Amino acid sequence: MKEVNVLVTGAAGQIGYALLTRLASGETFGQDVKVNLNLVEVPQVVSRLEGSRMELEDCGFNTLGTVKNFSDMNEASGDIDWALLVGSIPRGITINGKKIEERADLLKINGGIFTEQGKALGENAKADAKILVVGNPANTNALIGCTHGNNESQTWMAMTALDANRAKAQVANKCNLDISDIKKMTIWGNHSPTMYPDLDNAEIKGESASGWINDQNWIESDFLRIVQQRGKAIIDARGASSATSAANAAIDTVKATIKETPEDDWFSAAVLSDGSYNVPEGLIFGFPLKVDTNGKVSIVKDLPISDYAQEKIDLTTQELLDEKNDIKDLL
C-alpha cells in the first residue's frame, strides 16, 4: 500500500476534529493509500489529541496508518507530503490582558506562528510538499510561511474553496440546479469580505453563469453580499465560526491537487502571484488554478475580466498589499 504523510495543526479544534476522519478514511487520498497523521497542537492542549487518536483507531479504517501527537513543529514536520495549517490566533482573543481586535496586531501575532511553521516545513517536509493554510488571515499567514519556508519546490496555498463552495451553493439555490452543474468558480483575491466570486467565467452547463442567471442586480447585491459575509452570518447564527464547511473545503482543495484537473473545470485557491492579471508579484492571491499530470499547480491564464470585476479585484488586491505592509518586518 502506498503511504502519504499528513500534518494537521490546530488538530484539537473544531475544524481539525472535522478533518481527521475524512483524511484517514480513504475518501481523500484513495482506498489504496495508507494515511499517516502527525497532529500538532499548542502544549497547553496537546493532551487532548490522545482522544482524537483513540477515536481514529476505533473507526477501524483500513487506510489509517500511524497517528502521532506533537507540540513541536520541527519534530512533526519531518518527511511530510501534505500540511494543513488550521491553527491560528482568532480575532477577539485576549493575550497578556489585551483583546486582539486590530488587524495589524492579529497579523503580527499570527506572523510569529507562521514564521516558525514555515521554517520547519521548508527544512523538514518533502521537497514537493503541498501546504494549505486554513487559519485566518489565511493569505497573509501563507505569505509569511512561504517566505520563511524558502523552498521553491514546495507549494503554498491559502484556502478559498470555502468561498467557492458558498458561491456555488447560492447559484444552485437561485437557479434550482445541482452543485455539480456549476463549474469553473473562481474566488479572486483575499479570503476576506473583499474577495470576489466571479460568475462571468464560472459556467453552468457550458454557458457563462452570469448569462444563465441573467439578473445582474441579484449578482451585484444579494449574491455578492451573501457570499462575502457568509462567515459572519454563520458566527451570528451558531455562536462559532464555520467548522464542518471549512473542513470540507480543505478536503476539496487536497482532492483537487492530487489528480489532474478535468479539461472542463478548474478550482480556486490562493497561491503566490506571478504577475498574472496585473496582480503584483509577492502576494498570496486567489486565482483559478489547474493541476497537471505531474501534480504541478498553475494559474489559468488570459480569462476576460470585466470593468466591474476589475474594480473588485483591485479592491481585494489593495487589502492584501495593506496586510503585507503591516507585516513587512516579518518578511
Q: Write down all domains in the chain, each with its CATH number in brackets.
A: 2-159 (3.40.50.720), 161-330 (3.90.110.10)
Paired strand residues for 198? 186
Under a CB-based contact definition with an 8 Å cutoff, are residues 45 and 62 in contact?
Answer: no
Set 119, 148, 184, 191: catalytic member: 191
How many Å is the maximal CA-CA distance in the chain? 55
CB 194 within 8 A of CB 206: no
Q: What is the CB neighbour count within 10 angstroms for residue 222?
A: 13
| Residue among 295, 314, 298 nearest 266 (CA) | 298
**pLDDT value of position 101:** 58
| pLDDT one digit per residue (tens) for the chain, 331 residues | 999 999 999 999 999 999 999 999 999 999 999 999 999 999 999 999 999 999 999 999 999 999 999 999 999 999 999 999 999 877 666 667 666 656 777 888 888 899 999 999 999 999 999 999 999 899 999 999 999 999 999 999 999 999 999 999 999 999 999 999 999 999 999 999 999 999 999 999 999 999 999 999 999 999 999 999 998 899 899 988 899 999 999 999 999 999 999 999 999 999 999 999 999 999 999 999 999 999 999 999 999 999 999 999 999 999 999 999 999 999 8
Grid coordinates belonging to 280: 503584483
The H-assigned helical ranges of the chain are 14-24, 49-59, 73-76, 103-124, 138-149, 161-175, 209-213, 216-218, 224-228, 230-238, 244-257, 307-326
**Is position 191 annotated as part of the catalytic site?**
yes
Predicted confidence at residue 106, as pLDDT, reads 80
Contact status, residue 279 vs residue 317, Cβ threshold 8 Å:
yes
Nearest to 9 by CA among 138, 123, 147, 104: 138
